Amino acid sequence: MRIGVDAKRAVRNNTGLGNYSRLVMESLATELPGMELVAYTPDMRANPRLDPLLHLPNIEWRQPGPGEARFGKSAWRTFGITRCLAKDGVELYHGLSNELPLNISSAGIPSVVTIHDVIWRRLPYCYKAADRIIYDYKYGRSARQATRVVAVSERTKADVAEFYGVDPDRIDVVYQGCDASFKAPHSPEEVEKAKSDYRISGRYIIQVGTIERRKNLDLTVRALAALPDDVSLVAIGRDNGWLDRVKEVAAAEGVAGRIKYLHNVPFSQIPLLNAGAAVAAYPSRYEGFGIPVIEAIESGIPVVAAKGSCLEEAGGPGALYVDPDSPREMAEALRFFLDHPDAADAAARAGRAYTARFDTAGMATRLAEIYTRAISQFKGCR
């Protein structure tokens, strides 16, 4: 089977969509060696996270050739790729990051699109009006045109069906795993060195994710004020315009000196900093899935997350879930794990038993089944 994939995010992004794209490509290429991937990207860039994929013999990298990007590389990704697919012998095209070429229906082959979330519909105040219009047009059109849609959670499946009118029978839920580095054992010495490198000591709560309104770091900061003074908070993620607000809250709560904000942390260090934490917080108001929850659980620590979207799907019965508007509930849940090490260990074990279902080999097999079904469905409609 020869599959075309949209690899732009795999090349350019080192968080969410980029992580997913690389994980899918690597799992398909390694777990199913008989599968060939043609990775379409407007350009190639130096990215250490991409290196493992560059050495896989069944991934062919495809950039615009001479005369193929007359109207620019972005236009090639949006329209020009479609004209390349038949020439490249591609049997099916998979848009890994919410979108397909706008003219994919003219390609003469089936298509699959992964939709990660429709958060701009649930929390419109977190997005610019122009962005919401663009997302609805591009992603909604892609979901409706695709032969089949992959949703990363049951919550996202329901949202795609509700907001874009896609028949639920055309939507397949495929959970993604996390990078293997979070499951790997780490020695106490490795963990302590990572903590020392970032000048972290004592008991700490960790929260990983972009610092933006939706991620709700404010709630964890407010909860910190109700916890013992020897407990600190380590927030890992780039600022997306909300850090000043968080710092204002921290100052007002009297906990500014107990918070460490870390930006541009190498991906390899996050599993170590997770492993050194007492508990992970992820009170995001809405997510398509919530990979940081799985990463924390696989790192062997308990999780406190927010109710209301899909985080219960990600964390399972081992985590605790709180109202995203209740600092009291957040503080009580964090304190429970901090004060009861045995319960924290039991929660971590229960979490790992639950997240075993998010297996990259299983993800690859499931996607291959969907590709086969889409090809058969497409032929049956012609």
Mind listing the pLDDT tens digit for each residue in 302-345?
999 999 889 999 999 999 999 999 999 999 999 999 999 999 99
Q: How many domains does the chain have?
A: 2
Backbone φ and ψ for 33, nearest 5 degrees, come out as -60, -15
Burial of 57 from C-beta contacts in 10 A (0-12 / 13-18 / 19+)? exposed
pLDDT-derived band of residue 74, with 50, 70 and 90 as boundaries?
A: confident
**Dihedral angle over CA of 17, 175, 289, 234, nearest 10:** -80
What is the percent of the chain with per-residue pLDDT over 90, rounded to a whole number? 84
Q: Assess whether 136 and 248 both reside in one domain.
A: no
CATH number for the domain spanning 95: value is 3.40.50.2000
Other C-beta atoms closer than 10 Å to the C-beta of 128 total 10
Burial of 185 from C-beta contacts in 10 A (0-12 / 13-18 / 19+)? exposed
Q: Report the pLDDT value the prediction gives residue 382, as an integer from 0 to 100.
A: 60
C-alpha span between 237 and 229 (Å, rounded):
24
Structure tokens at 152: 């990363």
Of 114-123, 137-146, 357-366, least confident by mean pLDDT is: 357-366
Q: Report the pLDDT value the prediction gives residue 66, as an integer from 0 to 100.
A: 85
Q: Assess whether 195 and 323 both reside in one domain.
A: yes
Please determine, for residue 71, whether its predicted confidence score (pLDDT) is greater than 80: no
Of 10-19, 152-161, 246-255, least confident by mean pLDDT is: 10-19
Range of the domain at 239: 180-355
Average pLDDT in the 286-309 region?
Answer: 93
Q: Report the pLDDT value the prediction gives residue 360, as an integer from 0 to 100.
A: 85
> Higher confidence at residue 114 or residue 47?
114
Q: Assess whether 125 and 271 both reside in one domain.
A: no
Digit-coded pLDDT (tens) for 226-245: 999 999 999 999 999 999 99
Digit-coded pLDDT (tens) for 179-220: 889 999 999 999 999 999 999 999 999 999 999 999 999 999
The full length of the chain comes to: 382
Query: How far is residue 276 CA from its own chain's centroid?
Result: 22
Q: Assess whether 151 and 225 both reside in one domain.
A: no
pTM summary value = 0.91
Q: Assess whether 302 and 321 both reside in one domain.
A: yes
Other C-beta atoms closer than 10 Å to the C-beta of 7 total 28
Q: Assess whether 298 and 371 both reside in one domain.
A: no
Backbone φ and ψ for 89, nearest 5 degrees, come out as 70, 25
Q: Assess whether 284 and 271 both reside in one domain.
A: yes
pLDDT-derived band of residue 298, with 50, 70 and 90 as boundaries?
A: very high
Q: Assess whether 255 and 310 both reside in one domain.
A: yes
Instruction: Annotate 155-183 with b (16+ C-beta within 10 A) or e (fewer).
Output: bbbbbbbebbebeeebbbbbbbbbbebbb
Q: Assess whether 173 and 184 both reside in one domain.
A: no
Q: Report the pLDDT value the prediction gives residue 292, as an integer from 0 to 100.
A: 94
> Higher confidence at residue 216 or residue 290?
216
Q: Assess whether 20 and 161 both reside in one domain.
A: yes
C-alpha span between 250 and 219 (Å, rounded):
10
Average pLDDT in the 167-190 region?
Answer: 92
C-alpha span between 124 and 135 (Å, rounded):
12
Please determine, for residue 267, whether its predicted confidence score (pLDDT) is greater than 80: yes
Backbone φ and ψ for 321, nearest 5 degrees, come out as -125, 135
Average pLDDT in the 122-133 region?
Answer: 94
Please determine, for residue 356, whether its predicted confidence score (pLDDT) is greater than 80: yes
Q: Report the pLDDT value the prediction gives residue 240, as an integer from 0 to 100.
A: 92
Mean pLDDT of the chain: 94
Q: Assess whether 37 and 92 both reside in one domain.
A: yes
Alpha helices in the chain (DSSP H): 8-12, 16-31, 51-54, 73-75, 81-85, 119-122, 129-145, 154-164, 188-197, 217-224, 243-253, 270-276, 291-298, 311-315, 327-339, 341-355, 360-380
Q: Assess whether 287 and 368 both reside in one domain.
A: no
C-alpha span between 130 and 126 (Å, rounded):
12
